[in-house]
Amino acid sequence: MAASLHVPADYPTIQAALDAARVADTVLVAAGTYRGDGNRDLDFRGKDLVLRSEKGRDATWIDCEGTDKDPHRGVYLHSGETLAATVEGFTITGGRFPVGDLPTSRGGGVNLDDASATLVDCTIRDCSAWLGGGVCALGPVDGDPIALTMIGCDVIDCGDGLFTSGGGIYIGFMTFKASDCRIERNHAFENAGGLFLNTFSNLSATRCTFSDNTLTGFGPTQGAGIRTFRGSMDLDECTIQNNTAGIKSRGGGIFHEGQRNKPYLANLTNCVVTGNRATRGGGIEVRNDNTMNLRFSTVAGNSGSPGAGVASTAFAQVKAFDSIIWGNEGDGQIYTEYNGTLSARYCDIEGGREGDGNIDADPLFSDSARDDYHLTDASPCIDSAGGAGEKVIDMDGDDRPQGDGYDMGADEYAVQPTCDLEVQLDDYPVSLMPGEALKFRASAHNDCDQALGLDKATLTITGPAGLERRLYSGRMIMIDSGGEVGATVQLTVPGHAPVGTYDIEVTIFREGAVIDSNSFSLELTSVWGLTMSVPGYRVEWVVSAPVGASGLAFGPSGTDFEDHLYIGAARNALGGEIVRVDRKRSLSTFANVSGLDHLTFPPVDGEFAMGLHWSWWGNDTFWRLNFDGSVVALASIDSNP
């Protein structure tokens, strides 16, 4: 029977638990940040194990602390593990391997070498290596197929400098499946800021986003979002957006390259390719005998010259069906050279294109300036696609067709209801302290007479600090009349979060449009409060402080209290350090000597009591408690002894 091993309750480090585990066991890791040997370069040693966090990636971090001189990564599997080897619910950060040592400089966050793995709900960020700044997966040139599966994962802000390929992810001789993943803000020098799909690899991606990835080389640079070389791919309901390929570049969003007389196929269905930039093929370039099928896809708002939208070169073939190529900025929407071709049927192409059912008319997007490429009710693309008689879904998971016929592009227009879903928030706190868990329930209610759906939900936190998080993004979730769908939202407030008032808002969407939102206010405080009493000539106070609190100070609220207060001794009632002050030295003088504003105490956990003997000739009646330079509590003394 499979066992569960707990870190750190049963084992001091993650690697110690992995070493003790047997095949099919689960290693459960408590919330926290894990650093140092035994908590990085994690190795399953050929065993198919499950490594899972107890509280999810927001609360469980692996900080690799890698440098050029002391390189480290998060996970390294190299002993024939299968897809049953699973890593779930971690944020992996700080992995680094220096450029120049190619055999080892692969996969700054996760490296698979002749091994398979499944990554679930993980974030890999701020990692770097020569090949695959975030993730590198290389299979054998000959032998059994090796695979990587990623579900609900984010690869963000990864990459490196000179000659780096695959800033986010590098795949070679592998099968790669990804769903509901984000590959964002990664960078490389020459090839593939986001994903490099190299020799004899194939990709299947569903509901994934490749956005804001960059190439910084001097050219030729290729494929800021996705770059393939002798690899095949199927993209469904994916977004390739705002990727930049630099100077002398090709394929800002996608560069799909084959080998002469050895074509490789790419299928894009229900995809949006927008806002990408390159010298040639701003959105897409297909080259060297490769073939790409664009079906129910939208290529718009890209820039490049020539071929602002799509370029087909060197015997490549692009076949567009039921798609939109419009509003791309540069020298022509489409560019072909060296026997490259682009054929189209039932497409809306700016400037026109020969082919059955093609039109040349403004598609009337909802708000292209804000990257919203849904169709509006007057769009000529509605009911104008061929559809090939096959029922499919659109980029939001809506069924096709919705009306009398199929719609061109990635969006199938759906009439918006007059009555709609409402967001309800329950069981939420009104105040928290840094380090505590923010937990509440969010639900969408349907009080209308028909079934209604949502395809996206977000969490936005505004205040002294901010946060935006995707709670859900995927296929349309249908809610029957009178029904609801909901989930518990939980994340840990960072220990360094500034105190103050925060607004917590949950918003639900359908096809890019806001359906409803709801919010509540939260007060983040450093301490719960302050109580004081004056029995005789002794003032006593009780304070509740966050775990590990430091920078705690206490003193009169007046600014001028020289010679007003004399301290004999102060002691932490839980046995902490005794602070002694000369009876003839005032608090103000003592503060000046110590370099602090007020009397300070060592770090404390939970509630503690303090007391001091005092004599006081002033008339200050309010005392204050400071934390990290801010007044967090006031208390009054009713009388002077």
Res. 84: pLDDT tops 80: yes
- Distance between CA atoms of residues 448 and 511, nearest Å: 19
- Residues 574-602 have a mean pLDDT of 32
Mean pLDDT, rounded, for 541-545: 40
pLDDT-based confidence at residue 388 (cuts at 50, 70, 90): low
Q: Give me the pLDDT at residue 605, please.
A: 37
Give the fold, CATH level 3, of 530-636: Immunoglobulin-like (2.60.40)
Measure CA 170 to chain center: 19
Asked whether residue 30 carries a pLDDT value surpassing 80, the answer given is: yes
Query: Which one-letter amino acid corresponds to residue 363?
Result: P
SS3 category, 478: strand
Which residue bears the tokens 């469980």? 60
Q: What is the dihedral of CA 170, 172, 174, 175, to 10 degrees?
A: 50
Whether the pLDDT of residue 618 is over 50: the answer is no
* Three-state secondary structure string covering 293-362: EEECCEEECCEECCCCCEEEECCCEEEEECCEEECCEECCCEEEECCCEEEEECCEECCCCCCCCCECCC
Per-residue model confidence (pLDDT) at position 565: 31
DSSP 164-202: -B-SSEEEESSEEEEES-EEES-EESSB-SSEEE-TTEE
CB 316 within 8 A of CB 401: no
Whether 600 shows a pLDDT value over 50: the answer reads no
From CA 245, how far away is CA 219, in angstroms rounded? 9
Side-chain-side CA neighbours of 126 within 13 Å: the count stands at: 11
Q: What is the mean pLDDT of residues 12-31?
A: 98
Query: Which of 494 and 16 is assigned the larger pLDDT?
Result: 16
Residue 218 has pLDDT above 90, yes or no: no
**Does the reported pTM lie above 0.75?**
no
pLDDT, tens only, 441-477: 999 999 999 999 998 999 999 999 888 888 998 788 9
- Sequence ranges of the domains in the chain: 422-524, 530-636
502-535: pLDDT as tens digits: 999 999 998 778 999 999 999 987 643 444 444 4
**Under a CB-based contact definition with an 8 Å cutoff, are residues 461 and 478 in contact?**
no
Cβ contact 70:46 at 8 Å: no
pLDDT at 190: 86
Q: Give 24-90 as a DSSP string.
A: T-EEEE-SEEE-STTSSSB--TT---EEEESS-TTTEEEE----SSS-B-SEEE-S---TT-EEES-
- Phi and psi at residue 594, in whole multiples of 5°? -80, -15
Same fold, 422-524 and 530-636: yes
For residue 269, pLDDT over 60 is answered with yes
Q: What is the mean pLDDT of the chain?
A: 83
What confidence category does residue 390 fall into, taking pLDDT thresholds of 50, 70 and 90? low
The arithmetic mean of pLDDT across residues 230-254, rounded, is 95
**pLDDT, average across residues 620-626:** 40
User: Of the spans 118-122, 386-390, 600-604, which averages the highest pLDDT?
Assistant: 118-122
Position 247 scores a pLDDT of 85
pLDDT of residue 162: 58
176: Cα separation from own chain's centroid: 20
pLDDT number for residue 479: 96
3-state secondary structure 495-528: CCCCCEEEEEEEEEEECCEEEEEEEEEEEECCCC
Classify domain 422-524 at the CATH topology level. Answer: Immunoglobulin-like (2.60.40)
Residue 415 pLDDT greater than 90, yes or no: no
What is the predicted pLDDT for the residue at 414?
A: 82
Mean of pLDDT values over 582-593: 30
**What's the average model confidence in pLDDT over 288-317?**
96
Confidence of residue 575 (pLDDT cuts 50, 70, 90): very low
Tokens coding 581: 């002050």
